[in-house]
Amino acid sequence: GGLMQGGFSPPYFTPAAVRQVEAVIGGLLIDWVTVRAESALAGQSIADAEVRRRTRMTVAAIVRGEESIVAPGPDEVVSAGDQVVVMGRPEDLAGFLDQFIN
């Protein structure tokens, strides 16, 4: 019980709660992380951050307040407070978190 009770409610998280959801589907990991002001990804576009080249993870979506940006383009700038949905192989997640989030 607890978190998921009564369906999935909108994501009102404290910035300190960086790791939210982690699911592995057919060997593909999907994780949802909160970008903090001190995160390296904050203020960078997806292209400039070179997320995929540097970590092999793909930014699948950005949730910003009430707005969801699915499959964001390379020019999309990630802001502090955004929730970022990333996809990739489980073994690549730690490198993504180390470089861009933590």
| pTM confidence score | 0.76
Each residue's pLDDT tens digit, 28-46: 999 999 999 999 999 999 9
| Dihedral sign (CA 75, 54, 69, 11) | negative
The reported pLDDT for the residue numbered 56 is 96
Q: Residue 25 pLDDT > 70, yes or no? A: yes
Each residue's pLDDT tens digit, 4-19: 444 555 555 444 444 5
Of residues 10, 101, 6, the one with CA closest to residue 54: 101
